[in-house]
Every structure is written in C-alpha cells, then in structure tokens.
Amino acid sequence: MATLPLLAGAPPTSWQAHGLCRAVDSSIFFPPAHFEHKPEREARERRAKAVCNECPVRAECLDWALSTREPHGVWGGHAEGERKQMLLGKARIPA
Ligand code: SF4
C-alpha cells in the first residue's frame, strides 16, 4: 500500500502527519494512469472523500491544496474540479 507522496516524509508535527489517508491506499485519491470512466471516477472520489470526511486535518489539507493550487487528486475532501471552482469564486470555500 502506498501513501500520498507529499505525506510520506512529513514531520510528525505537521498536519500532514495526521492525515487519515496515510493509513489507506492512496490510489483512491488520484486518477489512475489509464483512462477512467466517469462512474469509476465518481466512485473512487466518493471513497476518498469518505476518508477525508473523518480526517482531523481536513481544513488544513484543503487550505494547503488551495494555496498551492494542487492540480490533481482529492485533498481536504474536494476533488480538483471542485477546488478549481473555489479558486475561481464559483463555489464556496468551507470555513
Ligand atoms: S483531508 Fe483527506 S487528503 Fe487531506 S490529509 Fe485528510 S484524508 Fe488526507
């Protein structure tokens, strides 16, 4: 089982060290190398978001993903398209 690349070497004091995704297969957070049909993508993202919804550092994670304009994957409970809408002011950024 792989961990998220960013989180793999996170110092224990970092919010990244407390992400629940460290304990699950990171492949649910990112699109596969092959073409992914919409129903598959939606199912994968639902599984990732379910992990994020229980994560104690969800807010910090979303802040990081928005501030770095992370282009791929589910971070802080939001997929890349949802974060893009937030950055464009077309969706509310959760408090
Ligand atoms: S919010 Fe999701 S992606 Fe972010 S650290 Fe938690 S489980 Fe990982």
In the chain, the N- to C-terminal Cα span, in Å, equals 32
Q: Ligand 1 centre from 36 Cα, in Å? A: 22
Mutational test site, ligand 1, from 18, 64, 75, 83, max ligand atoms within 8 Å of CB? 75
| pLDDT for the residue numbered 95 | 80
Q: Ligand 1 centre from 73 Cα, in Å? A: 11
| pLDDT for the residue numbered 18 | 94
| pLDDT for the residue numbered 7 | 55
What are phi and psi for residue 47, nearest 5 degrees? Answer: -65, -40
66 lies in some domain: yes
Report residues of the chain scoring pLDDT below 70.
Answer: 1-13
- The residue assigned the tokens 């996170």 is 10
63 lies in some domain: yes
10 lies in some domain: yes
| pLDDT for the residue numbered 82 | 98
CA distances from 60 to 8, 10, 16 (A): 17, 14, 9
pTM: 0.87
| pLDDT for the residue numbered 9 | 56
Report the number of distinct structural domains present in the chain: 1
Percentage of the chain lying above the pLDDT 90 cut: 83
95 lies in some domain: no
48 lies in some domain: yes
Domain with 60 in it? 5-87
CA distances from 26 to 73, 87, 91 (A): 10, 24, 26
